Amino acid sequence: MTLKNRIIGLSITCLLSTGSVLAQDSMLPDFNYVYLEKLVAVAKENYPRSKNFDTRIKIAKLAVNSSKASWLEPFSFSYFGRSNDGAIDIVNPALLTGYQLGLSVNPGSLLQKPFAVKTAKEQVKIAENDKLEYALTLETEVKTRYIAYVQAVNDLKLQSKITLDGEAIYNSMRYKYEKGEITFLEYNTASQGRNTAIQAKLIAEGRVLATKISLEELTVLKLESIK
């Protein structure tokens, strides 16, 4: 067998090995919709920015209560006591003696109160809508990062199988080279193929770790603790 035919045969073997892996693997079986919904729920519960929206709603509701409680602000109450002790004040004669009450009203402030209460209630609605909007954004982001994580895990599975195939081919070619059945070029080609597969596997492992960390940023908890 010529050197050209040997290299072609080696390439075909690699392609067939890789092709069988590709044909057998799919990320869909590892895509767990129930688990994904748990991740979304955990993110909504634990992510700090999501908690901030709950705080804003509480503040808005407190503002409503404060506005309702301030209905008496336009009214001013006063009292004073007068006693002539039996004496007659010619300059300022007291027709009435004892304690006297006074009431004054600020019409402008009184008319503004209904609008203040209504405005405070609208602020509550805005805060609640902001929370709903962000919940949708957070849910989309969790799902996107989960897909990237599942894809990275499956890519690592594929690269691991390719690496095993490359290792098997390399061991076979090394044995043949040691027996003098193939040339150094053929042996070196197998060695380079194995090294390339190992490097691709390392990259795939790094991608799994990166996508996992990215997803855990939103859930706050480790994926292993979310069952």
* pLDDT given at position 130: 87
Which residues contact residue 42 at a Cβ distance below 8 angstroms, ignoring those fewer than 6 apart?
Answer: 219, 220, 221, 226
Kindly state the tokens that stand for 155.
């890519």
* pLDDT given at position 42: 96
DSSP letters for 45-112: HH-HHHHHHHHHHHHHHHHHHHHHHGGGTTEEEEEEEE--TT---SSS--SS-EEEEEEEE-HHHHHH
Q: Is this model's pTM higher than 0.85 or not?
A: no
How many CB atoms neighbour CB 182 within 10 A? 22
pLDDT per residue, tens digit, the chain (227 aa), is: 444 444 434 443 444 444 444 444 678 888 899 999 999 999 999 998 888 888 888 888 887 777 765 555 554 555 555 555 555 555 555 555 555 555 555 555 545 566 677 777 888 888 888 889 999 999 999 999 999 999 999 999 999 999 999 999 999 999 999 999 999 999 999 999 999 999 999 999 999 999 999 999 999 999 999 98
* pLDDT given at position 120: 76
Kindly state the tokens that stand for 219.
């859930």
180 conformational bin, left if phi > 0, alpha if psi -120 to 50, beta if neither: left
Q: Tell me, what amino acid is at 15?
A: L
What whole-number distance in Å separates Cα of residue 192 and Cα of residue 201?
Answer: 14
Kindly state the tokens that stand for 83.
């006693």
What whole-number distance in Å separates Cα of residue 50 and Cα of residue 174?
Answer: 58
What whole-number distance in Å separates Cα of residue 73 and Cα of residue 76?
Answer: 7
* pLDDT given at position 92: 54
* pLDDT given at position 78: 57
